[in-house]
Chain A
Amino acid sequence: MLRLVVRRLLQLIPTLLGLSVLLFVWLNRLPGGPAAAMLGERATEADRIRIEAALGLDQPLYVQYGRFIKRLFELDLGTSSQTGQPVWEEFTQRFPATVELALFAILIAVAVGIPLGYFAARRRGSWLDVAAVSGSLLGICIPVFFLAFLLRAVFAVQLGWFPSFGRQTTGINATEVTGFFVLDGVLTGEWDASWDAVMHLILPALALASIPLATIVRMTRASVLEVLGEDYVRTAESKGLDRRVIRGRHVLRNAMLPVVTAVGLLTGSLLSGAVLTESVFAFGGIGSFLRTAIDGRDYPVLVGFILFIALTYVIINLLVDLAYNLIDPRVRVH
């Protein structure tokens, strides 16, 4: 197990290096550039050269890239050309919000999607099955931002059950430890702060969970239907085992294999896809920051963000592989 982890972590290095080169070259071929974006339309040529020199943009590409890699190892992602703050700091302030939201969303999707998919398959053709299948189609069709608006308008604005924006009620006296507000509350024993953070999370997480939920319901249903037809399930039935044992050990354990892969990929896509939901609920994650970074061609921020997304995908893939390794003995490396 440990060897597998180490090997997969080593495989990570060439992947990320390759990606950073691609990114760097690609960004430098874009028209415009940070100097033009910072100076506006009426900048003189002299101003542009001065700014580019200050940012190091006048150096040859490989020098710029070498410097970039060196700083990467020092966790120095450069300075945002928009805010003048170090990119690393900008990120560490915003990442916890996005990660917390994405994890909450995937948690909802898994906790609801897998049982729903299972029972839909078990009672194929029943009203539950029909509702699950058509409901999940709806979930995939509705744009996430529209659902976010809808949830906010009904449950936050009209009914007032949930807060309508932000991550925390202003004025609440919460100690910040990790930046993950729910976790912070648990760590410091400030339970009302934790609860407050959860209440703020529910609506955006529900909106964000719609597509992964629909995907998980459909995948689980299809996978369970397939496994129910397998000979080993019939063997288990022929042994007269309890329904509970057949469900857990013989049906779900096998049916979960493709779903685990899907959950991994969905989690990755949620991290980059949270942008719209975050802006509807003014959630203060990476979303709005990224948008201004794109507008302003803020290279250090963009490169840092894309590397981060790539890194999370690779790590999630590693986790999926490890989970597979636990569930399915046939893929185990000896």
Chain B
Amino acid sequence: MTQPLLSVDELTVTFTGRGRRDVQAVSGVSFSVDQGQVVGLVGESGCGKSVTSLALMGLLPDRGVRVGGRAEYDGTDLFGLSPSRRRALRGSQLAMIFQDPLSSLNPVVPIGVQVTEILARHRGMKGEAARKEAASLLDRVGIPDPRRRLKEYPHQLSGGMRQRALIAMAVACAPRLLIADEPTTALDVTIQAQILELLKELVDQEGTALLMITHDLGVVAGLCDEVNVLYAGKVVESAGRRDLFAAPTHPYTHGLLNSIPRLDAPRGEPLHPIRGSINDNIAWADGCAFAPRCDFYTLECLAGTPGLSEPRAAGHQVRCVNPVLPGSAGATGGTTGGTAGLEKTEATS
């Protein structure tokens, strides 16, 4: 078995502010990405998925942030590299696509320059050669009339075109690992599908590994081979795509699946959001962070951090004391009786 292209081991990211309490945004995340594989990092806003991607790219600010754990890319320890080595790696080997295409493009610089600057930096291309390559990159991501677009500014492009331009920049140097942080959230549904199709195509053609960060399980279903579900800075469930959708085991994954509105649901059928918000959690050290929002929790949930286990199939890991197994309590209905008990416990402690 060959080693994975990227392997992340016990990654922690802590924001330290002067005179403020430290906040651990990512607390021990481990996963790996193989060459040509699409791996999803799924969770609500605030679960630490974007921070994980920024930490891997080395884009977190130098001060006020502490990064721990290991991240190995192709055998080299990313966090041990000098800033200039990391800079050389960024854009050439590791590339990233961001969420909001308008704010992610420089408003006062033509699209062409924003593409050619990366060619100049990593591939030493200049002048007409660089412009020609930039045009063919824009063409490849499906931007019509690329020669003319090179001279245009971001505000002159549509949302979908802007995201295509950003993708063109990201793939300009044929990176081996592409990180996409919610690349479709700011776009129309029809455009979303096109962009996902484009990403799929690029991954299939080039054998690029893709780390897909999203809150949208629809995106996961359409694209990912492996899925890691994150909650409050920890992986709570990790499985192959089929496994995850066929038999979601963590109550949180259940909740995520149930909160997707269904087109074929009867009229007037209420939606099933997960109760509370990600701020209603407890520290992982005291137990399961999801317990206060969980429909299945028991007192055992508060006995320290639950570990990852494989209750059902090999490779399908879940961090839960009371995993939702087939035949156990109805996943959709759930009980609320347990919550009152938890509040009592918190009040006495």
**Which residue numbers of A lie inside 8 Å of B, CB to CB?**
230-232, 234-242, 245, 249-250, 253-254, 327-330
Contact B109 A238 (CB under 8 A): no
Q: Which residue of B lies closest to A123 (CB)?
A: B63
Of all chain A residues, the one with the shortest Cβ separation from B90 is A240
A231 touches which one: B88, B98, B109 (CB < 8 A)?
B98
Is the beta-carbon distance between B109 and A234 smaller than 8 angstroms? no
B166-A241 in contact (CB<8A) = no
> Among A231, A238, A329, A330, which residue has its beta carbon within 8 angstroms of that of B103?
A231
Let me know if B107 is at the binding interface, CB within 8 A. yes
Q: Which residue of B lies closest to A249 (CB)?
A: B109
CB B321 to nearest CB in A, in angstroms, measures: 39
In the complex with contacts A239-B91, A240-B91, A245-B108 CB distance below 8 A: no
B126 in contact (CB, < 8 A): no
A329–B153 CB distance below 8 A? yes
Listed A/B pairs (30) with beta-carbon separation below 8 Å: A231-B98, A231-B100, A231-B103, A231-B104, A232-B103, A232-B106, A232-B107, A234-B59, A234-B98, A234-B104, A235-B166, A236-B106, A238-B90, A238-B91, A238-B98, A239-B90, A240-B87, A240-B89, A240-B91, A240-B92, A240-B121, A241-B117, A241-B121, A245-B121, A249-B109, A253-B106, A254-B107, A329-B108, A329-B110, A329-B153
What B residues does A230 contact at CB under 8 A? 103
Asked if B118 and A241 make an inter-chain contact with CB atoms under 8 angstroms apart, the answer reads yes
Instruction: Determine how close the nearest CB of chain A comes to the CB of B180; give it in whole angstroms.
Output: 12
- Which of B96, B106, B110 has the most A CB atoms < 10 Å from its CB? B106
**29-81 of chain B: CB within 8 A of chain A:** 57, 59
Q: How many residues of B contact A (CB 8 A)?
A: 29
In-complex Cβ contact of A253 among B95, B100, B108 (8 A): B108
A330 and B109 in contact, given A234-B98, A240-B87, A241-B118 (Cβ under 8 angstroms):
no
Which residues on A sit within 8 Å (CB–CB) of B92?
Answer: 240
A238 nearest CB neighbor, chain B only:
B96
Among A239, A241, A242, A330, max chain B CB count under 10 A is at A239
Taking a contact as CB atoms under 8 Å apart, the answer to whether A242 and B108 are in contact is no
User: Contact at B59–A250, with CB atoms within 8 Å?
Assistant: no
Instruction: Decide yes or no: A241 and B91 within 8 Å by CB, A231-B100, A249-B117, A330-B155 being known contacts.
Output: yes
List, in ascending order, chain B residues with CB within 8 A of A327's CB. Answer: 108
Find chain A residues with CB under 8 A from B155 CB. Answer: 329-330
- Tell me if B122 counts as interface (CB < 8 A to partner A): yes
**A253 and B104 contact, CB distance less than 8 A:** no
Cβ contacts under 8 Å, A249 to chain B:
106, 109, 113, 117
By a CB distance below 8 angstroms, the chain A residues around B108 are: 253-254, 327-330
> Which single member of A234, A239, A250, A253 contacts B118 (CB below 8 Å)?
A239
Residues on the A chain within 8 Å of B89, using CB: 240
Residue of A nearest to B166 (CB): A235
Lowest 9 CB-CB distances: which A-B pairs, in order?
A240-B90, A240-B91, A239-B91, A231-B103, A232-B106, A329-B153, A231-B104, A238-B96, A239-B118
Do the beta carbons of A240 and B122 come within 8 Å of each other? yes
Give the distance to chain A from B106, nearest Cβ to Cβ, in Å: 4
Give Cα A230–Cα B100 distance, bound, in whole angstroms. Answer: 11
Which of A235, A328, A330 contacts B104, CB < 8 Å? A235
CB closest chain-B residue, reference A228 = B61
Complex Cα spacing A242 to B118, Å: 10
Instruction: Give the nearest-CB partner of B105 in chain A.
Output: A232
- Closest beta carbon of chain A to B67's beta carbon, Å: 16
* B 117-155 binary contact with A (CB < 8 Å = 1; else 0): 110011000000000000000000000000000000101
Q: How far is the CB of A121 from chain B (nearest CB, A)?
A: 13
B169 within 8 A of A: yes
CB distance from A213 to the nearest CB of B (A): 26
Instruction: Name the distance in Å between A209's Cβ and chain B's nearest Cβ.
Output: 28
Measured CB to CB, the closest approach of chain A to B15, in angstroms, equals 15
B121 and A239 form a contact (CB under 8 A)? yes
In the complex the two chains form, is B121's CB within 8 Å of A235's CB? no
Q: Which residue from B59, B88, B106, B153 sits with its C-beta under 8 Å from A238? A: B59
CB of B173, distance to nearest CB on chain A (Å): 9
Interface string of B208-231 (1 = CB under 8 A from A): 000000000000000000000000
Pairwise interchain contact B117-A245, C-beta atoms closer than 8 A:
yes
Q: Check A330 against B153 for contact (C-beta < 8 Å).
A: yes
Report whether A238 and B121 are in contact in the complex, using a CB–CB cutoff of 8 Å. Answer: no
- Assembly CA distance A238 to B172 (angstroms): 13
Given contacts A240-B88, A254-B108, A329-B153, 16 further A-B contacts (CB under 8 A): A231-B104, A234-B104, A235-B104, A235-B106, A237-B90, A238-B59, A239-B169, A240-B91, A240-B121, A245-B117, A249-B106, A249-B117, A250-B109, A254-B106, A330-B107, A330-B155
Q: For A328, list chain B residues within 8 Å (CB).
A: 107-108
Q: Which listed residue, B59, B104, B118, B121, touches A232 by the CB 8 Å rule?
A: B104
Give the CA-CA distance A328 to B153 in the complex, in Å: 10
- A234 → chain B, closest Cβ, in Å? 6
With CB as the reference atom, state the residue of chain A lying closest to B96: A238
| Bound-complex Cα distance A245 to B300 (A) | 55
Q: How far is the CA of A230 from the CA of B102 in the complex (A)?
A: 11
A242 to B122, CA, bound (A): 10
Provided the pairs A230-B103, A330-B107 are in contact, do residues A242 and B98 lie with their beta carbons within 8 angstroms?
Answer: no
